[in-house]
């Protein structure tokens, strides 16, 4: 019963309500007088007055401005209010008008019958539009919701309003108080250990995991238990994806490898982070990159006065600018194109915009490419960091956060070594500085450009093979939103060149990652998609490290952020000279001399030329 013309729809609903009220009045007369037609005829005209008054009340109470397809208790309370006020207005009318008398029993029964029948008509309308015939047409999609919680119930309501999504058959939960009972008429089954049997018994074709706090291990266990059922699995976003702490059902998405291997439940103190960002001018270097763009997305929600998007590539800056402008158009955004190693250009930017906060995410990050282009690694990752740090101090920036990498620990690559020099410089310049300098070190992130998961995804889409350098290879992994949320939190703690390391969890086998991605694609490893081992590339490690041997680890206020203290015997002047010397040797293509020179200052490096 979907009437598209709003005027016709409103008139139709009003006509139905008028007829229901008229029927209620006639019914009340029969209840009061039985088959005494003389009495019924005598009081019919008087009852008609009540019908008219109550119908006017329906209009005044805006019955016909409501979308009744989504009837809930709130809408039914409006029906109660409208019918009650109509009844009270009728009593008032006959109190002051002495020309006719309406028996109290007839007036009350008319009100009560109208209330029940109009409410029933609205519930029927909602049921008809959202459940009945459309649901039957799509009954082949049978859904189970894992989690009889607020999220699960909200998800059920959303699906119930959109029959094209399928039909919810059952909830599955571990809570004993819920198991065996019903929610919205849908049975709650359990425990979750029996999930496979439950899905088989109910012939489920789609499982939705409505547990935003679920860890990757928990999801991995669930998927492992039901893998051979070959049903579609969807999830609600993790808490770390909800930077405004608000859950939106429309964010329901397909299960992916991040959920199985990298999903972490992360909460940060948004009030604490907002304190140092709100109403400030924030500069993000590498704003078009994977980490930089996510920093922009999260920072802009914390109400900065102005956000400066600095990057070398105009296309990536254009893309993040357009995205942010569309979502939060009131925040002032500036697109700045420039190379962080261009000292004059950086001076221009700091002098014109005078940023209060700097998040330095710009970097060359690909290990194998930097092995072939060492001068670029030192020019950007070391010298560029020095330029930004010096300007930040000169222009009295309040806070400077340098994004580092686990490859800076015991570096075996040029890229890792160049980032290590950046760390050393920030530590040195941070001593006694009015600017609060900080370093945040973490491992690989899912979804960054050129990352292993994206490479594997493309190889799977191409039909294989997946190439792995060594079957023993392991890496830390973290999702980009999670990593950036922790970077922002660490920024609140930063001072004096402090080094923070993010808790990356356990190292993940690259081979296991490849096999999980193949399985998630609905294919079989070694059959549908081959795995080929190519041998380690120059600069690669079998596994990553987060700490130097001499570094001491301390807890912070956040369980996933650790403060690290180690020896730093370099003065600012000394490390400046080292960076400039290394850059000069790089331009002269004296790589062997460069490594030999740095080995005096970075004794844990083990780079083979």
The mean-pLDDT minimum among 129-133, 165-169, 226-230, 563-567 falls in: 129-133
Average pLDDT estimate for 7-11: 81
Query: Is residue 529 within 8 Å of residue 518, measured between CB atoms?
Result: yes
Residue 3 has pLDDT above 80, yes or no: no
Residue 205 to residue 42: CA distance in whole angstroms: 63
> Which residue has tokens 């925040």?
331
Residue 524 to residue 465: CA distance in whole angstroms: 12
Within 8 A by CB and 6+ apart from 173, the residues are 146, 147, 148, 149, 152, 179, 188, 189, 190, 191, 192
**Secondary structure (3-state) at 445:** strand
Phi/psi at 337 (5° precision): -100, 125
How does pLDDT run across 395-423, given as a tens digit for each residue? 999 999 999 999 999 999 999 999 999 99
By CB neighbour count within 10 A (0-12 exposed, 13-18 middle, 19+ buried), where does 234 fall? middle
How does pLDDT run across 338-373, given as a tens digit for each residue? 999 999 999 999 999 999 999 999 999 988 899 999
How does pLDDT run across 433-464, given as a tens digit for each residue? 999 999 999 988 876 766 788 888 899 989 98
Residue 346 to residue 356: CA distance in whole angstroms: 15
Phi/psi at 410 (5° precision): 45, 60
Nearest by Cα to 143 from 234, 208, 222: 208
How does pLDDT run across 506-551, given as a tens digit for each residue? 888 888 888 888 877 777 888 889 999 998 888 788 888 888 888 8
Angle (deg, nearest 10), helices 314-327 and 290-300: 20
Nearest by Cα to 190 from 235, 141, 145: 145
Q: Domain 270-446+476-504+545-598: which topology? A: Rossmann fold (3.40.50)
Q: Angle at the Cα of 100 (from 95 to 104), degrees rounded to 5?
A: 60
Phi/psi at 359 (5° precision): -110, 110
Q: Return the pLDDT at 162.
A: 76
Query: Is residue 397 within 8 Å of residue 435, measured between CB atoms?
Result: yes
**Secondary structure (3-state) at 245:** coil
pTM for the model: 0.68
Split at pLDDT 50, 70, 90, the class of 336 is very high
Q: Which CATH number fits domain 138-255: 3.40.190.290, 3.30.450.20, 3.90.650.10, 3.40.50.720?
A: 3.40.50.720
Token digits of residue 538: 């120059």
Sign of the CA dihedral running 244, 247, 250, 252: positive
Token digits of residue 310: 């600095």
SS3 content of the chain, % helix, strand, coil (to 5): 50, 15, 35
Q: Return the pLDDT at 536.
A: 86
Distances (CA, A) of 450 to 140, 376, 453, 455, 531: 39, 18, 8, 7, 19
Residue extents of the structural domains in the chain: 6-130, 138-255, 270-446+476-504+545-598
Residue 383 to residue 385: CA distance in whole angstroms: 5
Distances (CA, A) of 166 to 33, 144, 158, 237: 51, 10, 11, 20
How does pLDDT run across 23-82, given as a tens digit for each residue? 988 888 888 888 878 778 778 888 888 889 888 888 888 888 777 666 677 788 888 998
């Amino acid at each position: 019963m979907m009437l598209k013309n709003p005027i016709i729809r409103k008139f139709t609903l009003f006509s139905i309500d008028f007829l229901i009220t008229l029927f209620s009045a006639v019914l009340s007369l029969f209840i009061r007088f039985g088959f005494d037609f003389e009495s019924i005829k005598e009081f019919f005209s008087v009852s008609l007055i009540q019908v008219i008054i109550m119908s006017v009340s329906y209009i005044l109470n805006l019955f016909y401005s409501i979308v009744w397809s989504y009837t809930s208790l709130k809408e039914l309370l409006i029906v109660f209010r409208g019918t009650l006020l109509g009844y009270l207005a009728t009593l008032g009318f006959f109190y002051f008008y002495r020309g006719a008398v309406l028996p109290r029993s007839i007036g009350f029964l008319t009100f009560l019958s109208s209330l029940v029948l109009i409410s029933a008509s609205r519930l029927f309308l909602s049921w008809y539009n959202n459940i009945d015939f459309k649901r039957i047409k799509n009954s082949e999609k049978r859904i189970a919701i894992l989690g009889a919680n607020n999220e699960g119930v909200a998800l059920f309501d959303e699906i119930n309003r959109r029959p094209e999504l399928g039909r919810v058959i059952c909830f599955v939960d571990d809570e004993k108080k819920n198991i065996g009972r019903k929610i919205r008429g849908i049975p709650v089954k359990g425990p979750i250990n029996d999930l496979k049997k439950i899905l088989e018994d109910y012939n489920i074709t789609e499982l939705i995991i409505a547990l935003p706090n679920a860890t990757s291990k928990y999801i991995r266990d669930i998927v492992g238990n039901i893998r051979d059922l070959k049903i579609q699995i969807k999830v609600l976003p993790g808490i770390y994806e909800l930077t405004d702490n608000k859950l939106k059902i429309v964010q329901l998405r397909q299960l992916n490898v991040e959920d199985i291997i990298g999903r972490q439940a992360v909460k940060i103190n948004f009030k604490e982070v907002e304190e140092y960002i709100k109403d400030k001018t924030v500069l993000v270097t590498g704003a078009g990159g994977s980490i930089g763009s996510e920093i922009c997305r999260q920072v802009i929600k914390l109400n900065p006065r102005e956000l400066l998007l600095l990057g070398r590539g105009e296309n990536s800056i254009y893309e993040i600018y357009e995205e942010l402008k569309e979502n939060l158009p009131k925040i002032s955004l500036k697109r700045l194109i420039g190379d962080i190693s261009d000292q004059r250009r950086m001076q221009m930017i700091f002098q014109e915009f005078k940023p209060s906060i700097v998040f330095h995410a710009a970097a060359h990050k690909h290990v194998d490419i930097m092995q072939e282009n060492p001068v670029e690694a030192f020019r950007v990752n070391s010298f560029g960091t020095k330029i930004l740090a010096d300007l930040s101090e000169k222009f009295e920036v309040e806070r400077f956060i340098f994004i580092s990498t686990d490859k800076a620990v015991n570096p075996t690559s040029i890229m890792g070594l160049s980032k290590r020099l950046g760390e050393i410089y920030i530590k040195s310049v941070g001593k006694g500085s009015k600017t609060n300098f900080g370093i945040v070190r973490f491992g690989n992130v899912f979804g960054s450009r050129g990352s292993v998961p994206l490479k594997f995804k493309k190889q799977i889409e191409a039909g294989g093979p997946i190439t792995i350098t060594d079957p023993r290879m392991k890496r830390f992994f973290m999702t980009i939103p999670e990593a950036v949320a922790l970077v922002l939190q660490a920024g609140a703690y930063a001072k004096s060149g402090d080094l923070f390391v993010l808790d990356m969890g356990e190292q993940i086998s690259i081979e296991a990652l490849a096999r999980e991605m193949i399985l998630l694609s609905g294919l079989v490893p070694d059959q549908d998609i081959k795995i080929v081992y190519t041998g380690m590339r120059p600069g690669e490690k079998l596994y990553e490290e987060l700490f130097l041997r001499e570094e001491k680890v301390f807890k912070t206020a956040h369980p996933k952020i650790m403060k690290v203290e180690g020896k730093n015997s370099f003065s600012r002047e000394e490390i400046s000279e080292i960076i400039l010397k290394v850059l000069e040797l790089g331009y002269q293509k004296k790589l062997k001399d460069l490594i030999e020179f740095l080995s005096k200052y970075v004794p844990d490096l083990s780079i083979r030329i």
